[in-house]
Structures are given as C-alpha cells and as structure tokens.
Structure 1
Amino acid sequence: MQQTFFPMILDKDAKLPIYLTSAGCEFHQDSIDRRYGFSSYHWIQCYEGKGEVTIGNDSIILEKDMGMIIYKDEPHHYRPLSETWLTDWITFDGFAVKQLLNSLGFYKSNYYYIKDIDLIRQKIINCIETGDSYNNHNQLSVMSYDFIMSLPDYIIHKSSPFQLSKMAIVIEYINENYFNTLTIDTLASLIDVTPQYLCRIFIESTKKRPFEYINGVRIQKSKELMLNTSLSISKIGKQVGFEDASYYGKWFKRIEKVTPGAFRKHYKG
C-alpha cells in the first residue's frame, strides 16, 4: 500500500545535523525532470517494475533490488519503463549529511545492488509511521542517522552480477592459496579475463588492488601463527607467502602500525 510522509520543518529542525525531509513506500513513480536537482539528499530504490534514471550524461536502468543515492542539488530525471514502477524513497538534509555519506564511501550520486530490500524499506516505513504519529524531528533525526549508517550493510558495491560472481571465484582462490606464489595472470586466468580487466573489477569490488588484498590476507594469517605457534617471525613470513623477511615486516607495519615482533610481544609478552 502506498505511503508517503512530508514533515513540517521549522527553523529549529533545520539546525539539526541530520533531519528527514520526506519518505515514501510503494510509490507509483511517474516521470520527473529535476533540471536543478532536489533540495535534499535522496535514496530511491525499486520495489517493482523498472525505470530509467539519468544523472548528467549517465543513465541506468533501476529495477528490483537496486537503489540509488542522489546527491543534493544534482540535476537528474527519471521515467518509468514498465506499466507499473513502484519505488521506496527517503530524503534527508542537514549540515552533517555529506560528511557522513563521505565517511561511508558514498562520495557522489551512484547506484547499488541491494542484498535485502525489505530490510531497507522497513526502516523507511518506520520513519513514516513515527512521523505520522509524533512528527518528532529529534527522533526522526536519529532514525535518519541510523538509516544512512546501515546502508553499507544492505547494499553491494556498484558492480554487475557478472563481476560479483567472478570476483567470488578469485577471492576464494586467494583465501585458499595465499601461501603460494600468486600472479595477476594466474588470477585473471581463473575467470578468463585480461589482467587489466581483473585489476579494474577487483578495485571496484574491494577498494583494494589485488596484491593489497593478498598481502592483507597473508598478514592476518601470520598473526594467527604468531599467537598460536612458536615459529620464528621470519619462518612465519615465509609460511604465509612472503619470500623476503624485510618485505613481510614492511607490509605488517603498514597494515598493523607496529612491527611483527612488537605485535607478538603485546599479546604473548
């Protein structure tokens, strides 16, 4: 059932670090052309059907289990591509919103695949019901903060289903073979792509270069060995895949901010 909520916002409410400006569920979305953008930050997700969303020169098809963050004042327009296009949405503003979004990795308008759309829409429904009952901006501010903070838990970084399935193969292989010599060519051959393409989708999916991820896994495994065995640090480094002890120490300090010896001493004395 379609639900919408548009709270009355007074000057004191607009001074909150985050405040809710509108919300809707199962909304029958029509064509909208916002050539000057919208006055709030916007999360919109597709619940049924599909539509086209255009921001600048980029257009994407927003269909079920996909959502978008649209930045404040970003010109955009969207239109339904199916007879029925149902969307859920929530908008918020405040002096802390951009900083909070940036801290979570949302630096610009972007689309995402959603792991469980019902969990997100329930948060939107909760905001609507709270607003309808009390119109309590302090409570809605807390709920808006919770909504933004929880987004990374419910979405998958913007990648195609093809990329996600292929990356799962590569990640599993790394986790099972981190102690061996690994090359970009080997990893690319696992999913029949070029090394250049592998590096691109790896960064898109993990925010790390392949060898950053590989060495990160090796460091985590070496920490387990340091605490659970009496092996020397140099032998541990070799056992997890580092041929050179100084290179192992360099990577350990880069990730853990302490040397391997200091780490072991801190936990084992």
Structure 2
Amino acid sequence: MKSKLLFAQPDRTSLLPVYVTSVGYWEHQPEMAREDGFPDYQIHQTLRGTGEYTLQGRTIRVGPGEVCVLYPGERHVYKSAGGRWEMAWVAFNGREASALLRYAGWQSSGGGRLGDTELIGPFRDMLGGDSLSYEANLERSHLMYALLLELGRAARSAGGGQDMNRLKPILAHIEDHLHRPLTLRELADAAAMSPQYLCRLFKKTMAMRPLQYVNMQRVGRAKQLMFAAQGLRMHEVARAVGFDSASYFGAVFKRATGFSPEQFRRLYGLPAGD
C-alpha cells in the first residue's frame, strides 16, 4: 500500500456517537510535533519499525503489533526510533468517543499491545476506498465503532489473557453458586489466591470489584427467573439468586437496572408474583 490520507467531510455523520475525521497510512511516518495537541482522538497502529512518542513528559516506544492512543488537546511528539516506521492512523470524534476508548482499555493517552502485526480489519477497510461521499463517511463511522470494539478485544487478549485465565475458576465458581451467599474469601480460595490479590486482579481485568460482579450476575439470573417462573414471589426470586433479604435484592436490582423488580416485570409484561 502506498502512503495515503483521506479527510472525511463534515456532514451528518458528525451527529453520530462516533465518527471519523481523517484516516491515513504512512510508508515511513515523518516526525510530528504538536504543542497544542490535536483536536480529535487518534489511534496509531505500527506495522513495521518502531515509533517513539513523548506524551506529557514521558517517552514510550511502540513496535509491530502495538498501538498508541492520543487524546485531544494534549501536547505530543512522535517520530521514528530509527529506520523506517510504517504506521496507519485514524482520527475520530463524537459524544461517545471517550467512553468507547475507555471500554477498549484506554483511560488516557498511551500505548498498548495487540499481539498481531497485521492491520486490524476495520482499519484496513477504512483505508480501502477513496470516496468522500456521505455513504462512504457513514461506512467509516460504522467501521470506527467496530475498530474500537476490536481494539479492546485484541488488547485484552494480548495483555490480559493470563489474568483472565486466572479468573476463570472464580467465574465458574460464581456461576455454580449464585443460589447462595458468597464471600470474598471463598472466591479467593477457589483460585488459591489472597482476597487482596483477587480484588486487584478483578479491578484490572473486569473493571469492577469481585462482589460487584457477583451482584451483576445475580441480577441477570433474576431477570431470567422472573420470565421462566412467572408465579414466583419476589422474596422467592431473591432467595433463588442468593439474597437473604428481598429488600436488599430490590435495592441491588434497581441500582443495576434503574428499575425495581416490580417495575421490570411490568416493563416486560410479566405478571407480578402472587
């Protein structure tokens, strides 16, 4: 592929939750220094060689199979660390851009590993055409959303696969024992680790505390149970998913969904328990 640069037109796609403003590919990325940063979010994927970034006083290097995310308005400099640096990039914005980046694992500017040196599929597709029509811009916005989801999956697989494997016996234990109370110590024992380490691992891998995850799973199972066994009373539903108190179950359910269990039943046309 030869170096290319496409500027998306400022059309109705700017009303979408996330949209592309420009996308490009450099056979050899030149040095770039921006004192005031860039107005949009950027994702850079290195394909060959090594790039060096200076971000807020720190220096990071990225090579094949790695990406760098740049948040808007932050001073940065990037250049080849020596030799040819082949890199693809996309600039994007939108009201949900920051939330989608956080989902993908980037709370701020920085690098990350993908584990694959090939250009990510949605990235490749965005660079595949030259049209700047509304339809083409709309398709790039669709691909941008897919790229962010794929970026999160690939980064977690490359950087957190071992951590997720360590959590698997705990997740299975939770699934098998949602019908009764679970303690942090019991969960830690299921994977032969300390409760403190379990909390750190859960926060890093799942972005929540272990017992938050347990309650989330209980709420999900309660929804299924309210549909499958529509005659159950609320205290019976609560007990079946591991809550000793129906009122506490109701509070957890509302915090997770925004509805009380009774409101949820009415919302989906399910009869109230006798």
Query: TM-score band, normalised by the shorter chain?
Result: 0.7 to 0.9
Q: Distance in 2 between matches of 1:54 and 1:184?
A: 41
Q: Distance in 1 between matches of 2:232 and 2:57?
A: 57
* One-letter amino acid of the structure 2 residue matched with residue 118 of structure 1: I
Is the CA contact 2:55–2:75 (under 8 Å) kept in the aligned structure 1?
yes
Is the CA contact 1:115–1:154 (under 8 Å) kept in the aligned structure 2?
no
Is the CA contact 2:20–2:90 (under 8 Å) kept in the aligned structure 1?
no
1:245 offset after TM fit, Å? 1.8
TM-score (norm: length of structure 1): 0.74
Q: Which residue of the partner structure matches residue 2 of structure 1?
A: 2
Is the CA contact 1:115–1:156 (under 8 Å) kept in the aligned structure 2?
no
1:83 offset after TM fit, Å? 5.5
Q: 1:102 and 2:98 equivalent? A: yes
1:124 aligned residue (112, 116, 126): 126
SS in 2 for 1:155: helix
1:145 offset after TM fit, Å? 2.4
1:240 offset after TM fit, Å? 1.4
Q: Which residue of the partner structure matches residue 53 of structure 1?
A: 53
Q: 1:142 and 2:145 equivalent? A: no
Is the CA contact 2:66–2:113 (under 8 Å) kept in the aligned structure 1?
yes
Deviations 1:46-74 (CA, angstroms, capped at 9, x unpaired): 23454443321444443444323212332
Deviations 1:207-229 (CA, angstroms, capped at 9, x unpaired): 33322221110111122222222
Q: Distance in 1 between matches of 2:100 and 2:122?
A: 17
Q: Which residue of the partner structure matches residue 156 of structure 1?
A: 152
Q: Distance in 2 between matches of 1:235 and 1:246?
A: 12
Q: Distance in 2 between matches of 1:82 and 1:171?
A: 45
Distance 1:173 1:55, change over 3 A: farther
Q: Distance in 2 between matches of 1:87 and 1:261?
A: 54
Is the CA contact 2:123–2:143 (under 8 Å) kept in the aligned structure 1?
no
SS in 1 for 2:54: strand
Distance 1:33 1:209, change over 3 A: same
Q: Which residue of the partner structure matches residue 256 of structure 2?
A: 255
1:191 offset after TM fit, Å? 4.9
Map of 1:26-105 to 2, 5 A cutoff? Answer: 27-29=27-29, 31-80=31-80, 85-92=85-92, 97-105=93-101
1:139 offset after TM fit, Å? 4.0
1:241 offset after TM fit, Å? 1.3
TM-score (norm: length of structure 2): 0.73
Q: Which residue of the partner structure matches residue 24 of structure 1?
A: 25
Deviations 1:150-173 (CA, angstroms, capped at 9, x unpaired): 234202276633434334444343
SS in 2 for 1:78: strand
Q: Distance in 2 between matches of 1:15 and 1:4?
A: 21
SS in 1 for 2:269: helix
Matched length: 254
Q: Which residue of the partner structure matches residue 267 of structure 1?
A: 269
Distance 1:41 1:177, change over 3 A: same
1:251 offset after TM fit, Å? 1.1
Q: Distance in 1 between matches of 2:101 and 2:188?
A: 27
* One-letter amino acid of the structure 2 residue matched with residue 260 of structure 1: P
Q: Distance in 2 between matches of 1:241 and 1:82?
A: 59
Distance 1:38 1:192, change over 3 A: farther
1:243 offset after TM fit, Å? 1.8
Q: Which residue of the partner structure matches residue 203 of structure 2?
A: 203
Distance 1:268 1:6, change over 3 A: closer
Q: Which residue of the partner structure matches residue 174 of structure 1?
A: 174
Is the CA contact 1:43–1:90 (under 8 Å) kept in the aligned structure 2?
yes
Q: Which residue of the partner structure matches residue 235 of structure 1?
A: 236
Is the CA contact 1:42–1:90 (under 8 Å) kept in the aligned structure 2?
yes
1:3 offset after TM fit, Å? 3.4
SS in 1 for 2:247: helix
Distance 1:111 1:181, change over 3 A: farther
